[in-house]
Amino acid sequence: MLNKFQSIISKIVLVCVAIFTSVVFVQMVIYFGKNALTSGPVLNILVLICAIILVLLAALVLIRISDADPIKNRLVLFTLIAIFAIVAIIWIKLVPQTQFSDFKAFWHNAPRALSGKSIYQMDNDYFAKWAYQTGFLVYVMAVVKIFGHHIIAIQLLNVLYQALILLVMYQLVVKIFNNVKMARLSVLLLMIDLDWFALNSQTNNQYLGMLLFLVTFYLIMLNKYWSFGLAGLTLGLGSIIRPIAPVVIAGIVVFAVIYLLISNNKFHVDAIWKLLLTLAIYFVVFSGAGMAIKSSGLNGYGLSNRDSEWKFVIGLDYNSRGVYDQAMVDRFDLKDTRDTMSKKEYSVIHENINYLNTNHKWFSLLWSKNSTLWAQNSTATDFTGFDQVHSAKATGLMRRAAYMGTVILIIFSWIGSLRLFKIKFSNNIYLLLLTLMAYAVVQLLIEVQGRYRLELVPVIAILGSVGLYTVVQLISQKWRGNKSHNV
């Protein structure tokens, strides 16, 4: 009975993931058709075809390399990571050192904070409203303290974190599918996605946060008391750096209850104690960091979120389709106190909801937001200043190349999500899929930007590796069949 219940839940999750990837695939096709095909359609189609062929050829080479020798496996993996690191560093050299948007706030406030200056003047300033961002600011301050106020230190550390993400993702695929060749393909798909790694030039908290969350997933998959304890630590540190822990915790809790508590048609109560251990350590680490920041005088609000309403002000705005909009910002007086601002924000949220209800625009808004987050160009490259130091033609080519990585990920992750119904894999995959689904649902209600998907792109790449492996295997079988027939 328990196994049957678990099986039903598993099928529901797989169906939800398949529907999600299918929707994203359709939205990508629509976006590609409206944009890429209206401007130089022949060139764009040729670029896409060439990109897919090159990926298939690279995948074929990686699959043909034997996985019987552990030393050879490590050599292949570290060769891929080394190639990525070289390309990532070259990218840093191609873009200006200028910091943009929120990244600028971190970089320019770090030396101020180290010299004892306040990081906010009013209770409605950036670090006062979103005090949780102070966690990453402390990290930036530490880097500046050690290496000086030189952006290259942040950038090279970002490349290191990206390389480690590739390594951890490789280990996750091996853990889930017991397939080294498929793990190689996951690294290939992620390392060629410029939309994913472009922000390594910025003071960006997503890569370090992403790494810590992936390590958390891996530790939980080990299913030991010590690994659950360490998972609480990495989860806490990840949340301090990138505060999306509630979504990750939701995935962890549901996974533990469905797949660890229930095993072999029996209840395993120790799974609850392991889960509680993780959550307790997370709470101690995150709360302790907040109290330390507050008592230090760096931020009197600790790591709190004093303006959670703003994400819904933007996220439920039909006119902007849930994307940051200066017109909405202009409706507020940013010099108002937090209490005054909060009342105005609640008023606008109700106004947005009434508009969506009255005009039956919910589906249209949610469809548009999902497309912005998952199917369209991530706009990550727009935050690098590439266009400021390169020609319009070079910028156009760069953006086209960046989006091709996303298109390839979407195509193969869609195939991979369908393939999951036919192949065997560890239940550990549901930890990743449940977190992905939780994140996708939450993003339907709050502000979206294409770059917000970066944390979950490794999960998409893992699905993509299943699809790419399936396609290459099919091509290989057809090729061998034709050769045998000709002989």
| pLDDT reading at 31 higher than 70 | yes
- Location of structure tokens 């209850």: 257
| Exposure class string for 375-403: b at 16+ Cβ within 10 A, else e | bbbbbbbbbbbbbeebeeeebeebbbebb
Q: Can you tell me the mean pLDDT for 31-51? A: 82
Q: Where are the alpha helices (DSSP H) in 36-124?
A: 41-64, 70-94, 101-114
Q: Mean pLDDT of all residues in the chain?
A: 92
- Burial zone of 299 (CB within 10 Å; 0-12 exposed, 13-18 middle, 19+ buried): buried
For the chain, what percent of residues have pLDDT higher than 70? 98
pTM score of the predicted model: 0.94
Q: What confidence tens digit (pLDDT) does each residue in 404-453 have?
A: 999 999 999 999 999 999 999 999 999 999 999 999 999 999 999 989 99
Q: Which pLDDT score, from 0 to 100, does residue 485 have? A: 47
Question: Out of 104-113, 121-130, 380-389, which region has the weakest mean confidence (pLDDT)?
Answer: 121-130
- The pLDDT assigned to 361 comes to 94
Quote the distance between the C-alpha of residue 384 and its chain's center. Answer: 18
pLDDT at residue 352 is higher than 50: yes
Whole-number pLDDT of residue 486: 47
Per-residue exposure over 264-296, b if at least 16 CB sit within 10 Å of its own CB, e if not: eeeeeeebeebbebbbebbeebbeebbeebbee
Lowest mean pLDDT among 156-160, 259-263, 389-393: 259-263
**pLDDT of 141 higher than 80:** yes
Q: Kindly report, residue by residue over 243-253, the tens digit of the pLDDT.
A: 998 999 999 99
Tell me: pLDDT of 338 over 90: no
Across the range 210-239, mean pLDDT stands at 96
Mean pLDDT of 174-186: 96
Q: What is the pLDDT of residue 411?
A: 96
pLDDT of amino acid 248: 94
Tens of pLDDT, residue by residue over 272-281, are 999 999 999 9
The residue ranking higher by pLDDT, 182 or 481, is 182
Residue 487, pLDDT score = 41
pLDDT for residue 43: 80
> Worst-scoring range by mean pLDDT, 46-55, 161-170, 199-208, 227-236?
46-55
The alpha helices in 178-307, defined as continuous H runs, are 180-191, 194-197, 206-222, 225-241, 245-255, 270-296
Give the pLDDT score at 481.
64
Per-residue tokens: 317: 């705005």
Rounded Cα gap, residues 415 and 419, in angstroms: 6
Share of the chain above pLDDT 90, in %: 75
Distance (Å, rounded) from C-alpha 328 to C-alpha 351?
12
- DSSP readout, 154-180? HHHHHHHHHHHHHHHHHHHHHHHH--H
pLDDT at 408: 96
